[in-house]
Amino acid sequence: MDRDLFIERLEAFCTSSVRTFAARENRSFDETHQLVAEYYSRSLFSSEHSTSQDRAVQIKTILSDTSRMLESLGSTVGVESFVLAVDPSDDSQPSFLGGTTVGKEYWRGLRGGGDAGAKAFKSHCVKTQSHNPSSAAAAKSNPTNARTVKSDLYEAVRKALRTASGVSNAEMKWTNPSLLNIYGVRLVGWPPSIPSQNPSSLKADQNKQLLEAVEKGTLHFVRTILTNEGEPAPPAEEQSNFEWAIEYDDPSMSPNDEDRPGPAKRARPDS
């Protein structure tokens, strides 16, 4: 299949899928599309899926694509721009300068700009991270852990919902839990400090709190359709079932005939 046609069909499929998911979750298409893009960007640099060499290639590819977009923006609407990128965690990687020709030349000719400016910017970033060591560690460890928690939360809530409702394809209504009544259940125990949002929109610690609540049972689903198992009503056929079981002396007599008034009998005269 021609690559251009393949990409066109892939984009159409992705757009349709995102639009359907956004409608189901009562979120706007633009917001959902942005979250999908952010998720994909994070997954590109996941330590469990890429080596350091792959990471460098992926970064260079994304920056090159960004530069081409800025160039296209300049050629179509006349916007001039440049982008400078450095990787504080990798001394072996050079800085990247992209954008329109005017923008790049401006940076190179700027006092304090050019290669010296890029090195100064990188040193500033390294210094900033040294004052906040958790930021560097978070960039390497937290994304994977956060994704695991979020995935476990989705699965745990889905399983609990389907078990409680008995509906095998039931899906959680994250932004509007009142809609769960279509499955005959309601949600109990949602922490008041956490907004009713999709886990993709929540913070990692909020997702962790929700997951722990589900695992402990404090966050659960209860049925809203009650049954009358404690007070069973007698079946309508019970009386008739009892009547046919009675044996009558006269087989021709039915329960109705026994109670039906008949002709008065004459008294026999005394002899």
**Candidate CATH numbers 3.40.50, 2.120.10, 1.10.760, 3.90.1460; the one for domain 140-223:** 3.90.1460
Look at residue 40 in the predicted model and tell me its pLDDT. Answer: 74
Highest mean pLDDT among 54-58, 125-129, 169-173, 244-248: 169-173
Mean pLDDT of the chain: 79
Domain ranges for the chain: 3-134, 140-223
DSSP code string of the chain? --HHHHHHHHHHHHHHHHHHHHHHTT--HHHHHHHHHHHHHHHHT-TTT--HHHHHHHHHHHHHHHHHHHHHHHHHH----EEEE--TT-TTSPPEEEE-HHHHHHHHHSTT-HHHHHHHHHHHHHHHHHH-HHHHHHHHHHHHHHHHHHHHHHHHHHHHHHHHH--TT----SS-GGGGGGGTEEEE---TTS-S--GGGS-HHHHHHHHHHHHHTSSEEEESS---TTSPPPPTTHHHHHHTT---SSTT--HHHHHS--PPPPPPPP-
Helix axes 52-77, 29-44, angle to 10 degrees: 140
Q: Are 175 and 26 in contact (CB under 8 A)?
A: yes
**Does the pTM exceed 0.85?**
no
How would residue 241 be classed by pLDDT, with cut points 50, 70 and 90?
very low
Q: Are 156 and 119 in contact (CB under 8 A)?
A: no
**Does 236 have pLDDT greater than 50?**
no
**Does 229 have pLDDT greater than 80?**
no
Look at residue 42 in the predicted model and tell me its pLDDT. Answer: 66
- pLDDT by residue (tens digit) across 18-47? 999 999 988 898 889 888 887 776 665 554
Look at residue 181 in the predicted model and tell me its pLDDT. Answer: 92
Look at residue 57 in the predicted model and tell me its pLDDT. Answer: 83
> Lowest mean pLDDT: which of 3-12, 136-145, 183-192, 234-243?
234-243
- pLDDT by residue (tens digit) across 193-214? 999 998 988 888 899 999 999 9
> Is 254 or 10 the better-scoring residue by pLDDT?
10
